[in-house]
A and B are shown apart, each in its own frame.
Chain A
């Protein structure tokens, strides 16, 4: 698969990343390499193989509907780059 500059533009937009022109060039080459590494998989015949979504043979891992005390707000907000007393603050996203 060829990674084009257009693909890199698209992925960076989806990821909300802005790249400088030189970063974009190196990113294109590196992504090409990474994706190329996976290309080997396309040589396998998987027509008769059921897609695997989970590696461990687990199923029906459920919990009961019982309330557990929530975490202290201050403790949660301490992990945020920019909180105020009550909330996580993010750049303007709504009008």
Chain B
């Protein structure tokens, strides 16, 4: 039997606001337990949550970029459950009137993934079991951090499509500046709803939901594992049970969560503490006007405006910080292809060697523009420039000063080059003889001798020219 896998995704994204969704506590990552907390986010009785304007605006921007319809009259709802990661015993979320609905994401290859809805909600706290006292410790620093949950229709058929969608989503949200989407810090996490059915069938099988997927690799492996597990069950004549499963990355397997955690009856009702939101036409328009140029638009523009090859466009726009860096270089007068070559070569190599993200790059565009200009002007040869680049990268030092201090500028004193050429010719009569009798190799040797005397700082082009004119 050939099976078709059907997948839908629920992705939670932490928004890059400074404060929590309903109180002024910081959203900074880390911090000692329960030090980013107040009576509101620890669920003390009698407190009043007030919505952060930025959360609403970020959610609308994300919805616009994902081609959603924006709900002009939106409300929050209470999702009730008893679990100590939420001290109020309910989560403020959206069920009845989510802020965005009916979107679509083009993941390439002619495939579009429909977005069912996008809603705002608060994140939960962290529970850590302490085996010594056999009790669970609750840390509410993350409790109340704003999230958007993006729910797709069951439109995926392969793990590759899921990854393509997540990459597109991450890229879009990073460009919008609404989230840093760091999976390792939990600011982008997804749950996979998966079922299988015989190829060609149009009825849905029983699905399971997999949680705790915190890397693209985990998503891929969990999908492969779960599709195989369900197929094996059905082929053994068993049923797939609708359940929530937890992915264990170390064991490379998923496990059913206890049924008690599964008891799902959230008894949603309208959140009385948060008055409804009405988005005016002007407000919505101002958010639309405020949308930045997204990666796809940049790729098209770099090709048409700068004539960059598609590969370059793809590489440079893969990270908004790199694209910003590229545009800054071009604005400073660097030729686009030069800028792109440096970014794809030296910049990415040094970033990866230092395990740095592009947005944390110490080197300024101004410094690199100056260095590239020195190469263009023939003051540094390309190899020396790369060494200078690596030396000045961390301190964003002045390339001119560095080259001068280390005597790295190319010798542009023609008289000096000529005298060195003459000396080399005089010292190597055999090679001169060889060259004149047609041995091209001898020319290379002579160039090498001249460069050696100039300590590698000769301008190869000038050395070639002078040598050739002397030998002709």
Chain A interface (Cβ < 8 Å from any Cβ of B): 10, 13-16, 53-54, 56, 58-68, 70-71, 73, 76-77, 79, 82, 84, 86-95
Q: Which of B25-33, B222-230, B325-333, B374-382 contacts A (4 or more CB under 8 A)?
A: B25-33
Q: Which residues of A contact B83 (CB under 8 A)?
A: 93
Question: For residues 267 through 284 of chain B, which have their beta carbon under 8 Å from a beta carbon of chain A?
Answer: 267, 270, 272, 274-278
In the complex, the answer to whether A68 meets B25 with C-beta atoms within 8 Å is yes
Q: Which residues of B contact A15 (CB under 8 A)?
A: 82
Q: Which residues of B contact A68 (CB under 8 A)?
A: 19, 23-25, 38
In the complex, the answer to whether A54 meets B276 with C-beta atoms within 8 Å is yes
In the complex, the answer to whether B137 meets A87 with C-beta atoms within 8 Å is yes
Query: Which residue of chain A has its CB nearest to the CB of B264?
Result: A14
The CA-CA distance from A65 to B56 in the complex, in Å, is: 11
The CA-CA distance from A91 to B23 in the complex, in Å, is: 28
Chain B interface (Cβ < 8 Å from any Cβ of A): 17-19, 23-26, 32-39, 42, 44, 50-54, 56, 75, 82-84, 87, 127-129, 133-140, 263, 265, 267, 270, 272, 274-278
A64-B53, A65-B54, A76-B37 known; A14 vs B82 contact (CB < 8 Å): yes
In the complex, the answer to whether B137 meets A89 with C-beta atoms within 8 Å is yes
Q: List 8 A-B contacts (CB under 8 A).
A: A14-B263, A58-B275, A64-B52, A67-B18, A86-B139, A88-B34, A90-B84, A90-B127
Q: Which residues of B contact A62 (CB under 8 A)?
A: 50-53, 56
In the complex, the answer to whether A67 meets B51 with C-beta atoms within 8 Å is no
Which of these, B36, B84, B275, contacts A60 with CB under 8 Å? B275
Query: Which residue of chain A has its CB nearest to the CB of B260?
Result: A13
In the complex, the answer to whether B84 meets A87 with C-beta atoms within 8 Å is no
In the complex, the answer to whether A87 meets B25 with C-beta atoms within 8 Å is no
In the complex, the answer to whether B50 meets A61 with C-beta atoms within 8 Å is yes
The CA-CA distance from A68 to B38 in the complex, in Å, is: 10
Which of these, B87, B137, B278, contacts A84 with CB under 8 Å? B137
Q: Which residues of B contact A16 (CB under 8 A)?
A: 82
Q: Which residues of B contact A10 (CB under 8 A)?
A: 265
A70-B35, A76-B37 known; A13 vs B263 contact (CB < 8 Å): yes
A14-B82, A59-B276 known; A70 vs B19 contact (CB < 8 Å): no
In the complex, the answer to whether A65 meets B19 with C-beta atoms within 8 Å is yes
The CA-CA distance from A10 to B26 in the complex, in Å, is: 39
In the complex, the answer to whether A71 meets B24 with C-beta atoms within 8 Å is no
Q: Which residues of A contact B137 (CB under 8 A)?
A: 84, 86-89
A13-B263, A15-B82, A90-B84 known; A71 vs B37 contact (CB < 8 Å): yes
Q: Which residues of B contact A58 (CB under 8 A)?
A: 275
Query: Which residue of chain A has its CB nearest to the CB of B283?
Result: A60
A53-B272, A76-B34, A87-B33 known; A63 vs B51 contact (CB < 8 Å): yes
In the complex, the answer to whether B275 meets A91 with C-beta atoms within 8 Å is no
Query: Which residue of chain B has its CB nearest to the CB of A95?
Result: B129
In the complex, the answer to whether A89 meets B135 with C-beta atoms within 8 Å is yes
The CA-CA distance from A59 to B283 in the complex, in Å, is: 14
Q: How far is the CB of A83 from chain B (nearest CB, A)?
A: 9
Which of these, B23, B56, B129, contacts A92 with CB under 8 Å? B129
The CA-CA distance from A64 to B32 in the complex, in Å, is: 25
The CA-CA distance from A20 to B219 in the complex, in Å, is: 45
Query: Which residue of chain A has its CB nearest to the CB of B33?
Result: A86
The CA-CA distance from A79 to B278 in the complex, in Å, is: 37
In the complex, the answer to whether A70 meets B25 with C-beta atoms within 8 Å is yes
Query: Which residue of chain B has its CB nearest to the CB of A15?
Result: B82
Q: Which residues of B contact A84 (CB under 8 A)?
A: 137
Q: Which residues of B contact A13 (CB under 8 A)?
A: 263
In the complex, the answer to whether B19 meets A66 with C-beta atoms within 8 Å is yes
In the complex, the answer to whether B26 meets A70 with C-beta atoms within 8 Å is yes
Q: Which residues of A contact B75 (CB under 8 A)?
A: 53
In the complex, the answer to whether A66 meets B277 with C-beta atoms within 8 Å is no
Q: How far is the CB of A25 from chain B (nearest CB, A)?
A: 23
Q: How far is the CB of A79 from chain B (nearest CB, A)?
A: 6
Beyond A63-B51, A63-B52, 8 extra complex contacts between A and B, CB < 8 Å: A14-B263, A14-B265, A65-B17, A70-B38, A76-B34, A84-B137, A87-B34, A88-B87
Which of these, A67, A73, A92, contacts B134 with CB under 8 Å? A92
- Please list the 9 inter-chain residue pairs (A to B) with the smallest Cβ-Cβ separation, ordered nearest first: A68-B24, A53-B270, A87-B137, A65-B54, A58-B275, A62-B53, A88-B138, A86-B33, A90-B84
In the complex, the answer to whether A88 meets B82 with C-beta atoms within 8 Å is no
In the complex, the answer to whether B52 meets A54 with C-beta atoms within 8 Å is no
In the complex, the answer to whether B136 meets A91 with C-beta atoms within 8 Å is yes
In the complex, the answer to whether A93 meets B136 with C-beta atoms within 8 Å is yes
Q: Which residues of B contact A66 (CB under 8 A)?
A: 18-19, 24
In the complex, the answer to whether B139 meets A87 with C-beta atoms within 8 Å is yes
In the complex, the answer to whether A79 meets B44 with C-beta atoms within 8 Å is yes
